Amino acid sequence: MVKEKEKDQKEKDNKLFVGVVWNCATEIKILLTALLFLSSLVIILQFLPSRFSLSSSDLQLCLSKLSSSTSTSTSEVPQVSVLSSSSSPLIQKDQIIQQGIIKRAFNSYGSAAYSFIQMGSYRGGLNTFAIIGLASKPLIVYGKPSYQCQWISDDDRNNNNNITTFGSKILPDWGYGRVYTVVVINCTFPIPVGINGSGGRLILHASDGGSGDTDVVVSTEKIEALVEAPGSLNASVFSSPPVYDYFYCGSPLYGDLSPQRVREWIAYHVKLFGEKSHFVIYDAGGIHSGVLEVLKPWIEKGYVTLQDVREQERFDGYYHNQFLVVNDCLHRYRFMAKWMFFFDVDEYIYVQPESTIQSIVNEYSGYTQFTIEQMPMSNKLCLASDAGNTERYTTYFYVAS
């Protein structure tokens, strides 16, 4: 009897063991599948490029974009006019940040090396405009890009509410560009546009011209270059006396600038040019806290406007896109001064004691520009014995009225 009970108990234990194993089979399969997936993922990651990474911040960004796209609120969406284009980004605008610094916006269009990157667009008169930007240098050199300008009036009753003209491109950096080169597009319409106060939009159609192969489709970007609100045009600025006598447009500043040198430079030239002068300085990374402290009093007194152009470093151009910056300054402020000066902060305008800057420009009042002879100066003490031992040469910074 005892043996039969032991036998029955042994059979129950065996059945229990088999039942546990059978019940755990599903969990074991899941565990093995998970291990196999993780092993495969590790192997795949070894063959991905080193620049590929996935972090928690990336996941948070994806989730934030997903949540923002499903939101029905429109109060946080920038109210800007964006033309429909498969590659056009949301148009960014210039912003005023702390201490009155103007943070400039750069709007890029196209793909790969962008076909056009707009920095600014300005009226040059009642019927002419200038669009300042960068373009892919290989496209300019090897392609056949073309530009067409279109003015669309906000007044539907105007018979000239839709007028087009050929956009003439100017390459001011003489081929110094790298991945990108500077392009100034002149849009001159046969008649004045927008002068009735109706407002309107300047549209630039930038075409890459294709490659000459009939199978290649020409790509054209439709760019809203300029928007004039109704009643915003003040045509008197083109004929009124300018606000300033002298206006300085500087090259973009970068590197570790010396605050003391900047203090000496700005004080010297404010005294040279006088009260009716203004200086526009572009920060490409060189305006650190020490230099900003030097410029702050001059900004408060109204002598200096500081613009943040650090974003242009994204686009590989010549010398921190120097020609882009100075051309933008020229067209942005050209009607605000009698004479505009273009030179660097390591250069000084020197006038002989018997002359003044006013007497010099009076001699050239019949000209639109003149160049200034440049003489290198030692960074050591200047000695009388060195006079005449240094050759002079002409540089290409110039003054334009």
Q: Helix/strand/coil (H, E, C) string of 238-251?
A: HCCCCCEEEEEECC
Amino acid 375: pLDDT = 79
Is the overall model pTM greater than 0.85, yes or no? no
Tokens representing 138? 């290989």
pLDDT digits (tens, 9 = 90+) for 76-123: 333 333 333 334 457 888 999 888 899 999 988 876 788 999 999 999
Amino acid 89: pLDDT = 54
Q: Single out the residue of 21, 50, 100 nearest to residue 296, CA to CA.
A: 100
pLDDT digits (tens, 9 = 90+) for 199-234: 999 999 999 886 555 555 678 999 999 999 999 999
With a CB cutoff of 8 Å and minimum separation 6, the contacts of 370 are: 364, 398, 399
d(CA 337, CA 339): 6
Split at pLDDT 50, 70, 90, the class of 339 is very high
Identity of the residue numbered 58: D
Amino acid 401: pLDDT = 39
Amino acid 83: pLDDT = 34
With a CB cutoff of 8 Å and minimum separation 6, the contacts of 399 are: 339, 340, 341, 342, 361, 369, 370, 371, 372
With a CB cutoff of 8 Å and minimum separation 6, the contacts of 256 are: 286, 288
With a CB cutoff of 8 Å and minimum separation 6, the contacts of 226 are: 121, 122, 123, 129, 131, 201, 202
pLDDT digits (tens, 9 = 90+) for 175-204: 787 899 999 999 999 999 999 888 999 999
pLDDT digits (tens, 9 = 90+) for 346-376: 999 989 889 999 999 999 989 989 888 887 7
Split at pLDDT 50, 70, 90, the class of 56 is very low
pLDDT digits (tens, 9 = 90+) for 4-15: 555 555 555 555
d(CA 144, CA 135): 12
Domains of the chain, first to last: 95-233 (2.60.40), 241-400 (3.90.550)
Per-residue pLDDT at 270 exceeds 60: yes
Coil, strand or helix at 23 = helix
Q: In degrees rounded to 5, what are phi and psi of residue 222? A: -100, 110
For the chain, report the end-to-end CA distance as a whole number of angstroms: 123
